[in-house]
Structure 1
Amino acid sequence: MKAFLPYPLILLLALAACEGSGSGQDYTERASEDVLYDIPMTEQPAPPMEYAEELAFAPEARQAGGPSGPSGVTQPPVASSDTIQKQIIKTASLVYEVKQLQQAQYTVDSLVKRLGGYISSSNQNNSSQRHELNLSLRIPSARFDALMQALAALPERIDHQSVEARDVTEEYIDLRSRLQTKKKVEKRYQELLQKANTVKEILEVEEKLRQLQEEIEAKEGQLRYLTHQVSYSTIHLNMYEVQKFEYLPSRSPHFGQRILGALDGGWQLLLNLVLGLAYLWPLALVVAVAVPGIRAYRRRRQRGH
């Protein structure tokens, strides 16, 4: 009886040891999982290769920083407007009264040439009240403020002054993005053109290419125009010089001069009358011939009766 007592005790000790080892393994696995979840997403290991393709097309994997997004799936860089310099179109409108318009025009011409700009249009109007000059100045955007400060020394009085800055960054990004997309599509069509086998396929691809190239040229023209508008600012400058009013009294002739003028006018009238009669001499000749003839004709008729 005593000989069999150790065997149940040994069996119980063996079972307890197995349970202890199993719980220790579970604790180790849970601890490793907790450590893995505590690691930032950028430092976690990549998923196995057999799951990488499925994860790449999962909705969570396509979202940068998503809750299920694995670190093995890299996200494409997203273009941001912060990486592009602000595209600003500056326009100013100025109305100045100047002391000497000609001198002010010479000063403006010198300033614009010195700062690398040009005058796109010029129009001058003169009246008895004032002389006016309208100019449209195109100046590099980097020197817009310098020219504005220099022009501020010209006027005797400022009638109007306004500056507008229009942000076209979004429009610029949109145009450039559309242009890049169309160029990629053009490249694909060119590759398809090389692989076309039949005449029909070649004609269809060439027609698509022609339409696409026209769209690309239009977008490039819009982008060049927008870039030029951003690169050069516009200043509409109106300068005028007020003309002084001078009263000039009319000089009327005295009485003696008026008498002499009247006598001279009467003499000229008589001369004109004589000249008019002289112009009528053919008519007088006709009357002189016709009247005696008519009288002679009447006399013959009376004798016949």
Structure 2
Amino acid sequence: MSTQNAVAANTTTKTKTPSRKDKISIWKALIRYRWLYLMMVPGIAYYLVFHYVPMGGLLIAFKKYNLVKGIWGSEWVGFANFKTVFDSPDFPNLIRNTLLISIYRILFNMLPDVLLALILNEIRVQWFKKAIQTVTYGPYFLSWVIVYGLTFSFLAPDAGLISTWWRDHTGETLNLLTDKDWFRPIIILTDIWKSTGFGAIIYLAALATINQELYEAAVVDGAGRWRQLWHITLPGIREVFVLLLILRIGHILDAGFDQIYIFLNARVYEVGDIIDTWVFRRGIEQLDFSVAAAVNFFKSVIGFVLVITANKIAKKLGGSGIW
């Protein structure tokens, strides 16, 4: 019996240890695909240098960071920075504003992407389709500073086109940029205008992968355009929609710092101040890097948990998820 166990253990060891033949085949594969691996080096280096190495800086979330002493010389304070964040009177309002704006983005920004992609997919005149794509995709490349400048030219209280027209016809002054009730709608509308074209391109790529024979079979069976849309087109882009939804859920605590910071003003802080703008003021303007790092660490943990949860739910509902 002991001999059999020894033979079995020896066999297992042999299976686990790569043989000389396996090592040679690995080296052959590396040599054969060396140019492909070489092309991967810049991407891997980018993530190592700018994403993984900076993770060491998360230590300052558990320290009282001092610029002179550096990360390693600063004093350990444990979870004191997290307690400072959670005990802040602004924290509940920050969480509420961040979640509301992020949920609005998910609800109102994903559907226009799908609708525009479906409309473009039905256009058969190629030059007209490309023209519409160019017009809708163009705003994506504009910075939020330019977008705010365009918005200001329409909504400025004294000189904006819409504000002037409203004042001339009603005699009332229109000041939407400093109105708390209009801040979030303006944020969502400008975001839709800027990013819908880019989102539609992703769905157009998914639509291009649908087997055209399915449409031909549906026509033979007597299905109209709406039936084809419901039973072929929408299921064909469902996986992409779920994938983008999971990624958006993972970033639910990132309500769009660039846009919010540019559009924010003192009169709308109550409805527009989010976690990232608060972190910017606390970390950069007040040089309280430890508290800012604690907030970002908290956001990362919550985002990780949400991605895992959303991925599992998507798989249980019959989707493929991210992995």
Name the TM-score class by shorter chain. Answer: under 0.3
- Structure 2 length as normaliser, TM-score? 0.21
Higher helix share: 2
- Structure 1 length as normaliser, TM-score? 0.22
Task: From the CA coordinates, give the structure whose radius of gyration is larger.
Answer: 1
